[in-house]
Amino acid sequence: MNKNEIVTRLTAVFRDVFDDDSIVINDNTTANDIDDWDSIEHINLIGAVEEEFGIRFKMREVSGMKNVGEMMNIIAERAK
């Protein structure tokens, strides 16, 4: 799976979870960049990403992710 496919699918997940079709993500996107991205929505986002890509994040990965780029790297390594 290439980065463009990951970005396209991940953008759709973000837009769905946060109910905002104007969201544009990149490697440097963080919770500070998206309104309503709080701890509860973070859990919803992680679950939606896992479902979309058929993966399971490890707890240390979830707590260690500093930005969307790190999430995309994990997805690229493991996604089907």
pLDDT digits (tens, 9 = 90+) for 1-40: 899 999 999 999 999 999 999 999 999 999 999 999 999 9
Domain locations in the chain as residue ranges:
3-78
Pick the CATH number of 3-78 from 1.10.645.10, 3.40.50.9100, 1.20.1090.10, 1.10.1200.10: 1.10.1200.10
Alpha helix locations (H) across 1-80? 3-17, 39-53, 59-64, 68-78
Mention every residue, 6+ apart, whose C-beta is less than 8 A from residue 48.
13, 16, 17
* pTM given for the model: 0.94
pLDDT at 70 over 80: yes
For residues 44 and 80, is the Cβ–Cβ distance under 8 A? no
What whole-number distance in Å separates Cα of residue 3 and Cα of residue 41? Answer: 24
Looking at residue 66, what is its pLDDT?
95
